[in-house]
A and B are shown apart, each in its own frame.
Chain A
Amino acid sequence: MNSEKSFMNTSVVSADTKMKAVGKKFQATGISNGLVSGLTYGIYSTLVVVASGYNPLVSAAGILAAPFVASGLNDLFAGIWLLFYNAKQGRLRELGRTLKTKPGMMLVIGFLLGGPIANGAYLVGLALAGAYAIPISATCSLFGALFAWIFLKQRPTKRVVLGMVMCVAGAIIINFVKPQGAPNFTLGIICALIAAVAWGLEGVFSSFGGAMIDTDVAVNLRELISGLFALLIVVPLIGGGIKLLGGTIQAPSPVLWLAIAGLSAAISFVTWYKANSMVGCAIGMSLNVTYAFWGVLFSVLFLGQALSATIVIGSIVIVLGAIVVTMNPLDLFRKGDA
């Protein structure tokens, strides 16, 4: 990538300098986007739990109705926030155009997995296992690599396998000591795992030409489709779901919290994809996974989550493992010098 085509020495120097400056700025913006995506996803995870603490969500019968009402409303709010954002950028028309392409349709299948199924399972997991569900869900990069291996014939390197083993080890550590007073703890962890599996699969569906789709548009579609599917199709199938949805919409507190949670989720997704497309999926995903730290930290600070040695060590091991799955940590330093 040298500027062989520039003949005059002086212009070569300044073109190189300018190019380096552009590259550096690009890298820095990408990394800060990735960090923001992790932070805002941690905020989203915490706020959804806050919203679920209000009536009628907190007293809803069964384990499914409240999480799906909450995740459906959250995603719908996120989708609406993103509609404003994309309208401001002047690309609302892109939504329809994207849905009519093959890569767009493949993305939609992925959205249904990553949206209603994974988000719903994640929130059931949060409700049953508390903050323990957050780092467990971060094993999604493990499943992403695993499915890429199975379906896309992308053989993992030794480094990726090492990271996978670390993720599993971290999950085992977290489950070593069950917290007291959480009768459905293991079920909650299983739900978080289902979320991780579905998120891993979602990634596979984005590999059918998804690279040609504007991510800000894709994220907007994802949140709208996921929210509408959860509220119009899943919730009515759950006993008492419709009644709970109606009651929740009329209650100001949970709706307000879900609207803010939706805004955090919207910012998180936009910055995450932006980071992926600026510094590569590997670094982007690794930075995003720091949400497990933030989520656990905020839960301890604001939700009275008890801090145990197993959750601290387990989360650290999972986050490190997820980073090793997605990238060679040494690259961070190497690229910093460039």
Chain B
Amino acid sequence: MLLPSRTAVLNYMFDKDEVDVKSVMAALKDDYGNEKQFNEKMYLDHLMALEANGMVEMSSYELDDNDELIMRYKITDDGKSTVEKYIDKRYRVA
């Protein structure tokens, strides 16, 4: 059984230094890639909502070669303890 996607995003970030929406989607593509909800808008929403709830924070931002804004996020201590408390360990094997 797959985790709900927002939960999966936070779970993925547990042991990562820094992620952006593209790297998150690349990592979750195998599991969720065939779903209609698997798009950048939705996944950026997940990151921003997790940020608003204090689970992750923005770590840096810059423009890429195409002048597109890249926002990078990392998990907070609150986010880590939430993952440890509420997500089964078996979901954390990379």
Contacts and interface: CB of A to CB of B under 8 A. Distances in A.
Interface string B38-76: 100010001011101111001011110001010100000
Given A212-B86, A278-B48, A11 B6 contact: no
A278 B63 contact: no
Contacts of B36: 89-91
Nearest to B32: A93
Given A22-B69, A90-B35, A212-B55, A277 B48 contact: yes
A213 B6 CA distance: 6
A101 B4 contact: yes
A15 B62 CA distance: 5
Contact of A215 (B2, B38, B49, B82): B49
Contact of B86 (A18, A209, A214, A277): A209
Interface string A70-102: 000000000000000000011101100110111
Contacts of A11: 62-63
B23 interface: no
Interface residues of B, number: 33
Contacts of A332: none
B24 interface: no
Given A209-B82, A211-B53, A280-B52, A101 B7 contact: yes
Contact of B37 (A89, A98, A209): A89
B contact patch SS: mixed
A contact patch SS: helix
Nearest to B10: A212
A22 B2 CA distance: 32
A158 interface: no
Contacts of B53: 211, 277
Interface of B: 1-7, 10, 35-38, 42, 46, 48-50, 52-55, 58, 60-63, 67, 69, 71, 82, 85-87
The 3 closest A-B pairs by CB, nearest first: A90-B36, A209-B86, A211-B53
Interface of A: 1, 3-6, 11, 14-15, 18-19, 22, 26, 89-91, 93-94, 97-98, 100-104, 208-209, 211-215, 217, 276-280
